[in-house]
C-alpha cells in the first residue's frame, strides 16, 4: 500500500494505492494520525486505485472523518470500486461519507 | 482440503490473501465472492494474530479450507486464550459518525459475509468454523 498526500489550497487529497488490509493499515495509521489538524479545509479520500479494504482500514478512515468534522471540514470519498462499495454497504459506512 | 499455517505476525496477512486467491482460481469463484471470502478470513485471522497470544510471544494460526460442491467451509484454529467471537455484541452500523464506535466491525463482516459461523473451544484450542454456501 502506498499513500500519496497532496495539499491544494486548504484541501487535502489522500490517495490510497493498493490493498488497505490489516498489515497495511498498521503501517498507514501513524501517517494518517499525523494528518490530524493539518487542514481546516476538506479532505478528499481518493480510492480510485485502492483495490481492497478491511475493518482496520475502515477504522482509519472513520478516524479521519471524525477529526475532519471536529475541525469543521468535510470528507469526500472518490472513485471507489464495487467491492469496496459493498464493504461500505455492509458496515453502514455509505451513510457516513459523501461519495463521489 | 487445503491448509495454511501462519504465525501471529500481521505482516503475513498477504499470504492469506494468496491462499484464498488460489482456491478461488481453482474453484472458478467470481471476483466479488473472492473479495468477500478474503475479507471474512482476514478479519478472523487478524483477530487471532493481534489478540490470541500474549504480546511478544510466538503463536500459530491454522486455516483449513474444505471445498464442497455446495459450500465452502473454512476452519480457523489457534492455541491462544479462549475467545468466542460469535458471543460479541452486534457492531454499531447505524449511528452518525460522531457517535460511531470503531470496534466490532471485523466480526460483523464475518457474520454478514458467511452463512454460518460456529465457535468451539476444544483441547485448549479456539476453533472457528465459517461456512459459505455457493
Please give chain B's pLDDT, 134 residues, in tens.
Answer: 999 999 999 999 999 999 999 999 999 999 999 999 999 999 999 999 999 999 999 999 999 999 999 999 999 999 999 999 999 988 889 998 888 887 789 999 999 999 999 999 999 999 999 999 99
Checking if the pLDDT of A69 tops 80, the result is yes
Q: Is B85 on the interface with A (CB under 8 A)?
A: no
The DSSP line for A42-94 is -EEEEEEEEEEE-HHHHHHHHHHHHHHHHTT--EEEE---HHHHHHHHHTTGG
> ipTM score here?
0.92
Tell me whether residues A69 and B91 touch, CB distance under 8 A: no
The dihedrals phi and psi of B68, each to the nearest 5 degrees, come to -110, 175
Q: Is A81 on the interface with B (CB under 8 A)?
A: no
Q: What pLDDT is stored for residue A35 in this prediction?
A: 83
Domain definitions of chain A by residue range: 2-99
H or E element at residue A32: helix A22-33
Residue A57: pLDDT band (50, 70, 90) is: very high
Mean pLDDT of A35-47: 87
Domains within chain B, CATH numbers bracketed: 2-133 (3.30.565.10)
Cell numbers placing B106: 471485523
Tell me whether residues A23 and B13 touch, CB distance under 8 A: yes
Compare all CA atoms of chain B with the CA of A18 and give the residue at the minimum distance: B14
Mean pLDDT of A56-76: 91
In B, which residues are within 8 Å of A58 by CB distance? 105
Q: How far is A95 from chain B (nearest CA, A)?
A: 8
Tell me whether residues A23 and B14 touch, CB distance under 8 A: yes
DSSP B104: S
Q: Is A96 on the interface with B (CB under 8 A)?
A: yes
Q: Does domain A2-99 have CATH number 3.30.750.24?
A: yes
Distance between CA atoms of residues B113 and B74, nearest Å: 13
Q: What pLDDT is stored for residue B117 in this prediction?
A: 98
**b (16+ CB within 10 A) / e for A53-82:** bbbbbbbbbbbbbbbbeeeebebbbeebbe
Strand order in B116-122's β-sheet? B2-7, B60-67, B71-78, B125-133, B116-122
Amino acid at each position: 500500500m502506498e499513500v500519496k498526500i497532496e495539499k491544494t489550497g486548504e484541501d487535502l487529497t489522500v490517495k490510497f494505492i493498493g490493498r488497505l488490509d490489516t498489515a497495511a493499515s498498521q503501517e498507514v495509521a501513524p501517517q494518517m494520525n499525523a494528518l490530524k489538524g493539518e487542514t481546516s479545509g476538506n479532505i478528499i479520500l481518493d480510492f480510485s486505485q485502492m483495490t481492497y479494504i478491511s475493518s482496520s482500514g475502515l477504522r482509519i478512515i472513520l478516524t479521519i472523518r471524525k477529526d475532519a468534522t471536529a475541525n469543521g471540514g468535510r470528507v469526500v470519498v472518490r472513485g471507489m470500486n464495487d467491492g469496496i462499495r459493498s464493504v461500505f454497504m455492509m458496515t453502514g459506512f455509505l451513510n457516513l461519507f459523501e461519495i463521489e | 482440503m487445503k491448509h495454511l499455517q501462519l504465525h501471529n505476525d500481521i505482516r503475513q496477512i498477504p499470504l492469506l490473501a494468496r491462499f484464498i486467491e488460489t482456491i478461488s482460481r481453482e474453484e472458478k469463484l467470481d471476483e466479488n465472492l473472492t473479495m468477500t471470502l478474503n475479507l471474512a478470513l482476514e478479519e478472523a485471522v487478524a483477530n487471532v494474530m493481534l489478540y490470541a497470544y500474549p504480546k511478544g510471544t510466538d503463536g500459530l494460526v491454522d486455516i483449513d479450507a474444505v471445498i464442497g460442491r455446495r459450500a465452502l467451509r473454512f476452519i480457523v484454529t489457534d492455541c491462544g486464550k479462549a475467545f468466542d467471537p460469535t458471543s460479541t455484541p452486534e457492531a454499531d452500523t447505524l449511528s452518525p459518525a460522531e457517535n460511531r464506535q470503531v470496534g466490532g466491525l471485523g466480526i460483523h463482516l464475518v457474520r454478514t459475509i458467511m452463512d454460518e459461523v460456529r465457535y468451539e473451544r476444544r483441547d485448549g484450542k479456539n476453533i472457528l468454523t465459517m461456512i459459505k454456501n455457493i
